[in-house]
Amino acid sequence: MRLGEIELKTGAALAPMAGATDAAMRRLCAEYGAVCTVSEMVSAKALTMGDEKSVRLARGGGGDAPYGVQLFGAQPEVMAEAARILCAKRDFVPFDFLDINMGCPAPKITGSGAGSALLKDPALAGAVARAVREAVPEAIPVTVKLRIGWDAATLTGVEVAQRCAGAGIAMLTVHGRTRAEQYEPGIHPGEIAKIKAAVPIPVLANGDITSAEGAARLLAETGCDGVAVGRGAMGNPWLFREIAAVLAGQPVPEPPGLSERFAVLRRHIYSMCEEKGEWAAMQQARSHAGWYMRGLRGAARLRRECCALQTFEELEHLIERAWEMQGGTTP
């Protein structure tokens, strides 16, 4: 599958997740087969105001897989200016494509007309897409991530997708829920399929994929060109190699053994500490560590202990205890 001039491998993309898909997670998922990765969402307005924290969110690339920076905003000229700023910083903030957020349901984002609020105004959504597309060099693909609509009465996904395709957007990722549905109940593959059928550009189907079989099923149900995985990858970067194998018609690889699981957890958090400093990294590391503990013997207790982690050393002790609780001796 092609994203502009970029050829994507067979497998799943890592969906953007604020607070999770930082550089450490992107690189790890790419290592296990994510076909492309996307940053946490970055405020276009903050970028245009010179906010350094926003620049840091976009830094760090995505390992070997093509990497996109996701922008959110509702004003075409501000989005275009932010895109130009990022392009000018590309030596310092390397990226391969830009992504536009038209899916975030959080009131602090939709309140300013950004994220999924753009689905209420397809003409504005199209104008945002066009402004960003025209602001960046042809060689940099611009993609859009959207939901199927604002609510059940406002299923504007098809119209927004068509306007985006008409504006020169290279690929869409469709989360198969409305804004009103947030993250539950289940997704609507039929609505994703309608969007795929309505546009001539590649579409990734997204929502609730937690297994390789689930990815293959959603592809078949929607006729999409690929899939994107968000929460399923939390504490489970191995899902990408499993999906890549199944989509290539190969047997699903064995899940990781305990020592691989703990070694990757350790490496993931170490890399976060290196990039953000131990204090800031460990605040976020608590959730990551908890996700890696899922399904283990004593998982509830281990996850409670993850919530109290303050230092990398404490994580190492926790890993030793977790290992012992599984009946092993040393990790």
Ligand X SMILES: Cc1cc2nc3c(=O)[nH]c(=O)nc-3n(C[C@H](O)[C@H](O)[C@H](O)COP(=O)(O)O)c2cc1C
Applying CB under 6 A, does 245 fall inside the site for ligand X? no
Please count the other Cβ atoms lying within 10 Å of the Cβ belonging to residue 236: 23
How far from 176 is each of 15, 152, 181, 192, 196, CA to CA, in Å?
13, 12, 10, 6, 12
Applying CB under 6 A, does 107 fall inside the site for ligand X? no
Choice among 29, 36, 87, 104 that is catalytic: 104
Applying CB under 6 A, does 19 fall inside the site for ligand X? yes
Contact with ligand X (CB under 6 A): which of 47, 119, 144, 209?
Answer: 209
Residue nearest to ligand X (CB): 230
Say whether 116 sits in a helix, a strand or coil: helix
Only segment of 23-31, 227-235, 277-285, 320-328 that touches ligand X (CB under 6 A)? 227-235
Applying CB under 6 A, does 175 fall inside the site for ligand X? yes
Report 285-314 residues binding ligand X (CB under 6 A): none
Whether 104 is catalytic: yes
DSSP 178: E
Applying CB under 6 A, does 73 fall inside the site for ligand X? no
- Residue 70 vs 75, nearer CB to ligand X: 70
Closest Cα partner for 13 from 247, 321, 327? 247
**What sign has the CA pseudo-torsion 234, 192, 203, 83?**
negative
Stated length of the chain: 331
Q: 173-190 b/e with 16+ CB inside 10 Å = b?
A: bbbbbbbebeeeeebbbe
Applying CB under 6 A, does 15 fall inside the site for ligand X? yes
Contact with ligand X (CB under 6 A): which of 58, 193, 218, 229?
Answer: 229
Which residues of the shown chain bind ligand X in the complex (CB under 6 A)?
15-20, 40-41, 70, 101, 103-104, 145, 175, 206-209, 229-232
